[in-house]
Homo-oligomer: A and B are copies of this chain.
Amino acid sequence: MNLLLLEPAELHPDGTARLAGRRLAHAREVLKAQAGDELRIGILGGSMGTARVVHLDAHELVLAVSAQEPPPPRAGVDLLLAIPRPKQLKRVLPAVASLGVDRLVLVNAARVEKSYFQSHVLTEDSVREYLLQGLEQAKDTQLPELLIRDRFRPFIEDEAPALFASHQKLLPHPPATAPLFGQPRPGPTQRIVLAVGPEGGWVPFEVELLQAAGFLPFSLGPRVLRTEVAIPVLLGQLSAWRMGVSSPG
């Protein structure tokens, strides 16, 4: 936890906040905070800054908050992600939030096991907790917008066109041979949406729907990467691509 996150409602008009539970425990046990110390804090959905420890005991942490700094810039990337197995989802969610993904759509697909929907990991509250861990890690205050959809086709046909109206739509899909960088390069502020399939990939029917919706297939190369590895690789490539990286040397 590199940033203590406060809900806006926890901030009193006099600029103080009173915390208990997990954040109190972190301040006492990990940060070994004492009265007078300055801690890094962020207001969820808002600015970040520091907070002075006014008082700290076994029951309560009282902070005097000064949050004037903007959060880090967003990735400008949305993720349409076939729901991974719960064990993997627990690792993917903090990674996605730490990378500054703007919007996360967790969607059902033919190769997503039905049982994943029964997992407690996939409840909105649980997903939010894992995303918050990513913000605390990365020092960010902006949660990705979250959608969970249990039907693929209605989502692609009815919701996606409006959600991704002006996005550059990309489909990492191993049978494709074109590299990412062969696609039209997005403008510096244009949003990108990536459709990342389940283990074993999208089925042909899903690929057809995605292509009909404007998603351009490309290949990441011959290596088959786990979702939690593929997503940061893709975000790294996209950040370079967007900057149109060329050589000064």
Check if A22 is an interface residue, CB within 8 A of chain B. no
Residue ID in chain B nearest A3 by CB atoms: B224
- Are B185 and A247 in touch, CB under 8 angstroms? yes
Given the interface pairs A137-B226, A139-B224, A224-B139, the reply to whether A240 lies near B181 with Cβ below 8 Å is yes
Query: What is the distance, in angstroms, from A168's C-beta to the closest C-beta of chain B?
Result: 10
Check if A161 is an interface residue, CB within 8 A of chain B. no
Pick from B140, B185, B226, B240: contact of A237, CB under 8 Å: B240
Give the contacts of A63-116 with B (CB-CB under 8 A). 72-73, 91, 94-95, 98-100
Check if A241 is an interface residue, CB within 8 A of chain B. yes
Instruction: Bin chain A's interface residue count.
Output: 35 or more
Check if A244 is an interface residue, CB within 8 A of chain B. yes
9-residue interface stretch from A5-13, A122-130, A227-235: A227-235
Check if A177 is an interface residue, CB within 8 A of chain B. no
Check if A184 is an interface residue, CB within 8 A of chain B. yes
Residue ID in chain B nearest A100 by CB atoms: B223
- Are B181 and A224 in touch, CB under 8 angstroms? no
Give the contacts of A212-236 with B (CB-CB under 8 A). 221-226, 228-236
> Which residues of chain A have a CB within 8 Å of any CB of chain B?
2, 72-73, 91, 94-95, 98-100, 137-140, 181-185, 221-226, 228-237, 239-241, 243-249
